[in-house]
Amino acid sequence: MKLHYRKYGEGQPLVILHGLFGSSDNWQTLGKKFAENFEVYLVDQRNHGHSPKSNEFNYQLLSDDLYKLITDLELENIILIGHSMGGKTVMHFAQQHPTFIEKLIVVDIGPKAYPMHHNIILEGLNAIDLSITKSRSKADKQLSKYIEDIGVKQFLLKNLYWVEKGQLGWRINIPVLEEKIPDIIAAIPDKIVDTPTLFIRGEKSNYIVEDDFQNIYDQFPNSEIETIYDVGHWVHAENPFSFYNMVMDFSK
């Protein structure tokens, strides 16, 4: 599959993959900042953003999509960043294609399997009937019945777009993502990655807890784990300054 991407700057390639229900658009501010030093590629994974939709969705396919993008663009010596689901994609990619990567940065996700925890989000998204919901404000009101956090609501509603005048549509492929949630929360293969790797976790997030550290070090022996304090799962959005500095320090 040929993925959509946004490109900024020039220099060593830095490729960023978003998480579940996200898109390259979520990374534009940081991407443009990184572009002062790198050639930045913000990628939409399949069933997200402007990339094609597909009934198939698992980490092997997401890794294959990334491989096609990287080889089509003839990129090498890459700094590869992935948040959440995107973090599992880049870990999986590093297992299969380590020679493309100089450094790997995984944001608030580990290689392990996770329990199902997207039920409320999916219920809220499915409750928005776009055949009768004709404005973003009405979609927001409907989603508010399920999700109180304003930041999470805004993040999800950014996936709405105008198909034509008076008709909203979703850029995310909600039915397939819901069906494939077991594949999304599954562990990546148990294969050692020697690539220099930085795991960045949010202090208030439960995606990487201290009990996970040894498993991460076993699977990524050339890795370090850093914490950004007073933030949750959306580490890069909640404290972009600390996130930027941490990435830049690791990338030297």
Distance between CA atoms of 64 and 163, rounded to whole angstroms?
29
Helix (H), strand (E) counts: the chain: 11, 9
| Phi then psi dihedrals of residue 137, to 5 deg | -65, -40
Residue 50 annotated to the active site: no
Residue 84 annotated to the active site: yes
What is the token pair recorded at 40? 């930045």
Using the structure block, give the residue that is written with the tokens 């370090």: 224
Which sign does the torsion angle of CA 157, 161, 167, 171 carry? negative
Does residue 228 contact residue 17 with C-beta atoms inside 8 Å? no
- Alpha-carbon Rg for the chain, nearest whole angstrom, is 18
Please identify which of the residues 48, 83, 92, 233 carries the catalytic annotation.
233
Cα 123–chain centre separation = 21
Please identify which of the residues 23, 24, 63, 84 carries the catalytic annotation.
84
Torsion-angle region of 232 (φ positive above 0: left; ψ -120 to 50: alpha; else: beta): beta
Q: Closest by alpha carbon to 87, among 242, 1, 205, 168?
A: 205
Catalytic residues: 84, 233
